[in-house]
Amino acid sequence: HISKLPQVETSIFTIMSALANKHEAINLSQGFPNFKSDQKLIDFVSQAMNSGFNQYAPMAGNLELREVISKKFELLYNSSYNPENEITVTAGATQAIYTIISAFIHTDDEVIIFKPAYDCYEPTVKINGGKPIAIQMEGSDYKINWEEVAAKISTKTKMIIINTPHNPSGTVLARKDMLKLQALTIGTEIIILSDEVYEHMIFDALKHQSICLFAELKERSFIVASFGKTFHNTGWKMGYCCAPKELMTEFQKVHQFNVFSVNSAMQKGLADYLQEPKHYLELADFYQEKRDYFLSLIQDSKFTFTPSQGTYFQVLDFSKITKENDVEFAEKLTVEKGLASIPLSVFNLDQKDDKMLRFCFAKTNDTLKKAADILNRL
Ligand code: PMP
Ligand code: GLN
């Protein structure tokens, strides 16, 4: 067969955003803000372009940017990554994830993935010859059943992918989850890919449990991050990853032939902007307000929900409204009522959770109000 991914179709994000555009619906589907990022950041990038940051950046990324990323890990987690050889700037988190998986996954290696899972993990494992091993998270709070994880770890397990705060559910892993993961993999060579793109969007005084806080895990782990999420510029496709030197060396062997290096001016602009930690520290309050505003508007609707603990997504249960499944309902809501969302079952095993929709609240209050008016009329 000519296709390496015969089962893969156009991603749900592309489908729902296209449907929203076609029907001029309010788009709370694909995760991106509908407001402009800080003018200061845009000015830094434009200054960088004007002052000559227009040729290839170093393969691992602009050194000033790597240094300021390294400082962030010290400030927030008291954890050190050497900017010289333990950090690489990437074209968004997606490229980091793809490159990590292609650097380490051999034919028939098993990769444990928790469902519902962000959509790029599984196809990336498959295209590299690996075998995704799916574990469904349980209950309305999407808990990981660590006994099941223990049972599914085998000599073929090469990697475990975790994501906290979690897209699409908005749940966060607790310290005790991380300790379980550590206990289950201690003494093995299992690599942890920790997708932490929503690290700064965490609510209700919960603390982000970065993998770098757990020494035994850190030495076998990659952290993946995204500036698109953090600074409201998803279209810039800028991110980075960190790992101990031995792992990062392998990553860079692939990265140099995958993209070689990424956008030079934006790296310099981000390096200048990141000098002030408040630019990422204020994000939690900013998005908690948006979550609270959105939920206060729909508290008397027929939707039921558990408030999101992190990310800029809120999952709503519509089982009191219709018996339709989520894919049908999401389509109808877009086409007939003018509001686009993401059905959750597409991220799950066996189409589970087919009464849930994910809404992105990274929107102006005006947009959230218009969306809530639609939800309240259902
Ligand atoms: N991981 C998760 C969990 C995400 O939600 C996203 C973006 N939606 C990414 C990775 C990809 O990030 P980027 O846009 O920086 O490639
Ligand atoms: N991460 C975004 C989301 O979850 C979408 C990114 C994409 O479209 N690939 O909505």
High-pLDDT (> 90) share of the chain, %: 96
Question: Span 254-281, mean pLDDT?
Answer: 97
Q: Pick the ligand that lies closest to the CA of residue 27.
A: 2
Whether the per-residue pLDDT at 352 is higher than 80: the answer is: no
pTM reported for the whole predicted model: 0.97
Q: pLDDT at position 353, please?
A: 75
Ranges of beta strands (E only) in 140-264 are 157-163, 191-195, 221-226, 239-242
Nearest CA to ligand 2 atom 2: 31
Question: Span 186-193, mean pLDDT?
Answer: 97
Chain-wide mean pLDDT for the chain? Answer: 96
Whether the per-residue pLDDT at 173 is higher than 70: the answer is: yes
Whether the per-residue pLDDT at 294 is higher than 80: the answer is: yes
Work out which ligand 1 atom sits closest to the CA atom of 97.
10
- ∠ CA 26-225-208 to the nearest 5 degrees? 90
High-pLDDT (> 70) share of the chain, %: 100
Question: Span 250-270, mean pLDDT?
Answer: 97
Whether the per-residue pLDDT at 113 is higher than 90: the answer is: yes
Question: Span 80-103, mean pLDDT?
Answer: 98
Question: Span 22-49, mean pLDDT?
Answer: 97
Domain ranges of the chain: 12-30+282-377, 39-279
State the fold for domain 39-279. Answer: Aspartate Aminotransferase; domain 2 (3.40.640)
- With a 6 Å cutoff on the Cβ, whether 93 touches ligand 1 is yes
Alpha carbon of 358 to ligand 2 centroid (Å)? 12
H or E, element range at 215: helix 215-218
* Residues 274 and 69 sit within 8 Å (Cβ to Cβ): yes
Whether the per-residue pLDDT at 351 is higher than 70: the answer is: no
* Residues 163 and 118 sit within 8 Å (Cβ to Cβ): yes
Nearest CA to ligand 2 atom 4: 31
Q: In terms of DSSP H, where are the helices of 78-197?
A: 92-104, 121-127, 146-152, 175-185
Domains 12-30+282-377 and 39-279 share a fold: no
- With a 6 Å cutoff on the Cβ, whether 116 touches ligand 1 is no
Q: pLDDT at position 200, please?
A: 98
- With a 6 Å cutoff on the Cβ, whether 13 touches ligand 2 is yes
pLDDT, tens only, 216-249: 999 999 999 999 999 999 999 999 999 999 999 9
Question: Span 108-136, mean pLDDT?
Answer: 96
Q: pLDDT at position 140, please?
A: 84
What is 12-30+282-377's CATH superfamily?
Aspartate Aminotransferase, domain 1 (3.90.1150.10)
- With a 6 Å cutoff on the Cβ, whether 293 touches ligand 2 is no
